[in-house]
Amino acid sequence: MFGKRFETPKAIFVVGGPGAGKGTQCGKLKENLHFHHYSTGDLLRAEVATGSDLGQEIKKIQDEGGLVSSDLLVDILRVNMEHKQGVFLLDGFPRNQENVDAWNAKMNGVCNLEFLLNYDVDPVIMEDRMLERAKTSGRSDDNPETIKKRLATFSDLTKPIIAYFEGKNQCVTIDADGDVETVYNRTLEKVNKLILDFQNAIPKVIFLCGGPGSGKGTQCDLIKEKYPVIHQNTGELLRAEVAKGEKLGKQIKKI
């Protein structure tokens, strides 16, 4: 996988007000550093879609207009994180102190928390971003009234959590006012120690062999989904080099 540094899974809580851009930044970290990225909202919807007992329990709560309990939310995270390695970005978690308490009670020994990553931006900017998004998103909660309520909820419930982790010296705050690349570069600068540890870990290689049609490519894709590994297909690498039309590619094409 990526050496001893990551034998114990590690979590980064990622918070920020609606429109702060935390989901976009998580996506870039996942793509470039092969971190796992979990949005609690997406996980709940996915569990409901499976029709499992747990999914039916969640659906019943939502249909009755209730909020999924912190214990249930952490159970969902645990189910998705078990038997996996690497770094987990928990997008939009925690939202309140109950979430933190449930995590501490249920995830001890399962996954170590590194820090809370806080994307900080002026509420006026967040509101403007969401109103702009509302023009094309089609989301029912992208309307002025609901946006103001979401901002107020973030201020009332999540900001105290940020202060809590600041007091524990486990909060990394990113200025999220700027374009996507600028904010991403700020993120890399702030979390450079973890990233350097990740990049400098001794790499491990697994050779996968099998006859044509044996399914090795399919299995590689499944392994890649579950673990933070990089999948290299030698045939694809050769074809990509040929497509460049450079000296090495021409040599490969001739062979």
- Which DSSP symbol is given to 61? H
Model pLDDT, residue 141: 61
Model pLDDT, residue 1: 31
Q: Tell me the residue type at 61.
A: I
Do 189 and 181 form a contact (C-beta atoms < 8 A)? no
Per-residue pLDDT of the chain (255 residues; tens, 9 = 90+): 333 444 678 899 999 888 888 999 999 999 888 889 999 888 888 888 899 888 888 888 877 766 788 998 998 898 888 878 888 999 989 988 999 999 999 987 788 898 999 999 988 888 877 777 777 776 666 677 777 887 888 888 888 999 999 999 999 999 999 999 999 999 998 887 766 665 555 567 888 888 888 988 888 888 777 666 778 888 888 888 888 888 888 888 888
Q: C-alpha dihedral over 62, 96, 73, 78, to 10 degrees?
A: 170
Do 14 and 22 form a contact (C-beta atoms < 8 A)? yes
Model pLDDT, residue 180: 93
Q: C-alpha dihedral over 118, 122, 125, 131, to 10 degrees?
A: 70
Long-range contacts from 38-41, C-beta under 8 angstroms, 24+ separation: 38/77, 38/80, 38/81, 38/88, 38/89, 38/90, 38/91, 39/91, 39/92, 40/73, 40/76, 40/77, 40/90, 40/91, 40/92, 40/93, 41/92
Return the domain boundaries, the chain: 7-200, 216-254
Model pLDDT, residue 203: 63
Q: What are phi and psi of 177, to 5 degrees?
A: -90, 105
Model pLDDT, residue 140: 61
Model pLDDT, residue 117: 95
Gap between the Cα atoms of 24 and 22, Å rounded? 5
Model pLDDT, residue 212: 83
Q: Which CATH class is domain 7-200?
A: alpha beta
